[in-house]
Amino acid sequence: MNWLLLSIISVIALAVSNLLQRVLMREEKSNVFAYSLAFQLTCAALVGLFAFVRGFVMPPIQELWFNFVLSTVLYAAGTLFLFRALQNIGASEAAILTSSRALWTIVVALIFLGESFDLLKTLGVVLIIGSITLVSLKKGAVRFNKGTLYALGSAFCYGVAFANDTFILRQSDALSYLTLAFLFTGLIILTINPRVIKELKTHLDPLVLSKMVLLSLFYSTSGIAIYLAYQQGGTASQLAPINQSVVILTVLFAAIFLGERSQLMRKFAGAIMALAGILLLS
């Protein structure tokens, strides 16, 4: 299978997982901690199985312990914020808002990695901020509701964590690290709320559990496919624009399958602005 097909599979799988997250969290009895823990541990099992088949390589946890702790805490917070956001806003709006994680990745790269900032990146920042403003317009004014703030909080956590991952991935096998990232994030969530174990029994009935496994399967497939696309010869400059098209695809899928057609043209405009901004920042 060539890198282009793998990258397309990754995008479609990620867009579907965005919808499944919304389906789970809009249910009346959805529980953020229980669902977040189940999601992280299921993904750890699925990616871990694939990593062990290919040859698991233990990342240098002792040498980079601070980076591992930082990423784990940030991914745990980001997951909780995202699941909370999806209780209040649609999948399409969440996808556009969380695309702002690229801004935080750039900020960290500027401060700690010494990367440059030019006119194109400035325009990218303006476009992403514009997309956030556009989807946050309510009755002619910008209004940040609870779901919006949680989505932006998730974007901050994921953006900083992604930048921090660059330090770890310089010395680690990507799939092996991803396995531990999912596992450690789940353990952090469990540490924050130990009672979540009891909540799992209450909230994860067979129907919800089947949806959770399906969500984790699509999300894991997306991560594995993009990793394999790199290995099959896809470059960052080729894969980045394809991968970021998930924002537009999520808006389209949400309109078709979840009925999220309110302010659809505004959402598409925001998605296109976000995509253009991300590409300029890449």
Task: Give residue-wise pLDDT tens across range 108-153.
Answer: 877 776 666 778 878 888 888 888 888 876 655 556 789 999 999 9
Higher pLDDT, 203 or 161: 161
Q: What's the pLDDT band for 240 if we cut at 50, 70, 90?
A: low
Look up the pTM and report it.
Answer: 0.90
pLDDT at 259: 93
> For residue 167, what are its two tokens?
């330090």
User: What are the pLDDT digits (tens) for 47-81?
Assistant: 999 999 999 999 999 999 999 999 999 999 999 99
Residue 22 pLDDT greater than 80, yes or no: yes
User: What are the pLDDT digits (tens) for 199-219?
Assistant: 787 777 888 889 999 999 999
pLDDT at 170: 86
pLDDT at 230: 78
